[in-house]
Amino acid sequence: MGVNLKGRHLLSMLDFSAEEISAVLKTARNLKTNPAERAKLPLKGKTLAMIFQKPSLRTRVSFETGMTQLGGHAIYLAPTDISLGKRETTEDIALVLSRYADVIMARVFGHEIVEELAKYATVPVINGLSDFEHPCQILADLQTILERKERLSGLKMCYIGDGNNVAHSLMYGAARMGMHMTVITPPGYEPKESVTKKAKEVGAATGSTIAVTSDLSAANGADVLYTDVWASMGQEAEAEARKRIFKKYRIDAETMKIANRDAVILHCLPAHYGDEIDYATSRLPNSAIFDQAENRMHAQNALMVHLVGAS
């Protein structure tokens, strides 16, 4: 597989170099398109422990199905099974699961939880989502863009919406891979300044330009248009207010007029049709939303093969 990621953690898109990300994406494509590769069962005998603080459709099903496809086994641990830091310390949970499982995936609220799990675990830890980053989603996004555009470097991606965890990981991923990226968001909802600063630093070495603006005209000439829900899980109390603030920050027919005609449309789902994207736009031939959802499984399969599978 070229690069050696065995035993590593993935908490942030910055944890892997461009070469390492490319290697994972190459493996993902092979596993997706070549049944013979899946038939080798590269995760045979391996166990994945899945910790969930938040409910999930794509994360749980993609990881669990992926492990089954590749010969492994996944164990779902609901919020009631593991009360992180309450019934038992995160340190003890990490140490115990390391004795049972070959890899740990955690979908949590606070990013510090995945960091603490990784600090004490003796097996790889994967960030399945935290309030700060969502690297598994971005690996799938990059795979999807590659499928549609056959390259990443030099493409122009515009993310329209809240400067949230997905935006953070997209900025880091774009910077690593030499993509130009602009986050278009209402004033006051920008990504964290520290993330923007770091992404620009990383991008300076790869030829990537990273920008943040409130001007929707920045989507002019975009190769990729990406959006996400205006209010993430845990922000339900702000949902109505955000609808008013974000009203024009959406992907619709007007946005498509200024982007490139073949611009790829992405949304990490679940979608609130009529808010951040309208239903008709989500079903255009340009839309890769459901390819993107499928690729969660393939990208994560590839990631686990690199972290714990046969070399």
Catalytic residues, by residue number, are: 107, 134, 137, 228, 268, 296
Nearest 5°: the CA angle 54, 226, 157 is 130
Q: What is the DSSP string of 91-134?
A: HHHHHHHHHH-SEEEEE-S-HHHHHHHHHH-SS-EEEEE-SS--
The span from the CA of 300 to the CA of 311, in Å, is 16
The span from the CA of 4 to the CA of 26, in Å, is 14
Report the side by side order of strands in the sheet with 156-160. 210-213, 180-184, 156-160, 224-227, 264-267
The span from the CA of 123 to the CA of 120, in Å, is 9
Q: Element (H or E) spanning 1, and its range?
A: none
Burial class of residue 37 in the structure, from the number of CB atoms within 10 Å of its CB (0-12 exposed, 13-18 middle, 19+ buried) = middle
The residue assigned the tokens 């994560």 is: 300
Beta-carbon count within 10 A of 218 CB: 18
Beta-carbon count within 10 A of 243 CB: 15
